[in-house]
Amino acid sequence: MSEPTVLVERRDDGVVVVTLNRPAARNAVNVELAAALVDAMVACQNARCIVITGSDPAFCAGLDLRNLGTDRLADLAPFVKAVATSAVPTIAAVNGPAVTGGFEVALACDFIVASERARFADTHVRVGVYPGPVLIDLPRRVGMARAREMSMTGNFVDADTAWRIGLANHVVPHADLLSSALDLACAIAEQDPTMIATMRRDWDETGALPLHDARRRHNEIATESGFSGVVSDTLREHMSAVVTRAHEQSAGEARDRAAL
């Protein structure tokens, strides 16, 4: 029996790791993988945070043009949409090349943590396929001019450049990629899931609005969700945890500097 094309690991802390698992094909998407990723995303909607990564050496090489499993792209399950519409926060742990459809999966996540081996490219025009959601998502990450350059040239961007232009939030040693992404996922999983969900809705609805309209809609969302007012007792209740977290992070940063 062949190994599943998508692996799902549920952790006790509410975090789920979803791994694209066709390493011999550089995790390229075919009919089976597309359907498996959609199924995995649906099954993991009771998690607190989802980390999506790939089996080395790649994150995802895009569509498997040699073995797609269908003659029509429309027959593929909507794997990018399944990630983009997840009600659970998602982090892309990009361990290697993320190309075209694979790049769109990474962009569909809330943010990207990249291995030093990560590379990103939108090669739609080079294979003669009109780009999908990358045309919407990429400019919102890196700005219109850089997005146009990437999508019109099909050129690759390395990990350091991805960090510099705001495509990746972090670049870490390859061996530390999953642990780094999981640390961030655990920090998200610790929070009130209703508030996290409302924040994500707020960003989605206000991100492209003019400033005045965005502030108005933000206030409406906060009120509709019951977050328009915070009493002092609630602040006092959580303040000690915030202070403890700040001290822990400061101590960790000092240890990291000492190790350099």
Q: Of 189, 206, 224, which residue constitutes the final position of a domain?
A: 189
User: Do 199 and 173 share a domain, yes or no?
Assistant: no
Question: What's the pLDDT at 259?
Answer: 57
| DSSP three-state, residue 99 | strand
Question: What's the pLDDT at 231?
Answer: 55
Helices and strands counted in the chain (H then E): 11, 9
Tokens 């809330």 — which residue?
110
Question: What's the pLDDT at 179?
Answer: 98
Q: What would the mean pLDDT of 102-129 be, rounded to a whole number? A: 97
User: Do 202 and 142 share a domain, yes or no?
Assistant: no
Tokens of 74: 């429309």
CA distances from 158 to 96, 140, 179, 244 (A): 10, 19, 21, 36
Handedness of CA 192, 213, 203, 253 (dihedral sign): negative
Largest Cα separation within the chain, whole Å, is: 61
Confidence of residue 126 (pLDDT cuts 50, 70, 90): very high
Q: What would the mean pLDDT of 19-27 be, rounded to a whole number? A: 97
> What is the extent of the structural domain holding 225?
193-259
Question: What's the pLDDT at 167?
Answer: 98
Assigned domain for 1 exists: no
Residue 156 exposed, middle or buried by CB count within 10 Å (0-12, 13-18, 19+): middle
The pTM is what?
0.89
Bridge partners of 23?
none
User: Do 31 and 159 share a domain, yes or no?
Assistant: yes
| DSSP three-state, residue 63 | strand
Q: What is the DSSP letter of 3?
A: P
Which residues have a Cβ under 8 Å from the Cβ of 114 and sit 6 or more positions away? 94, 159, 162, 163, 168, 170, 171, 172, 177
User: Do 153 and 243 share a domain, yes or no?
Assistant: no
User: Do 233 and 213 share a domain, yes or no?
Assistant: yes
- Residue type present at position 237: E
- In 3D, which of 22, 17, 1 has the Cα closest to residue 66? 22
| DSSP three-state, residue 170 | strand
To the nearest whole number, what is the mean pLDDT of the chain?
91
Question: What's the pLDDT at 68?
Answer: 87
Q: How many domains does the chain have?
A: 2
Q: Of 163, 189, 215, which residue constitutes the final position of a domain?
A: 189
- In 3D, which of 27, 33, 79, 31 has the Cα closest to residue 58? 27
User: Do 251 and 129 share a domain, yes or no?
Assistant: no
Stretch (H or E) spanning 94: strand 90-94
User: Do 14 and 68 share a domain, yes or no?
Assistant: yes
User: Do 82 and 21 share a domain, yes or no?
Assistant: yes
pLDDT > 70 fraction of the chain, expressed in percent and rounded: 87
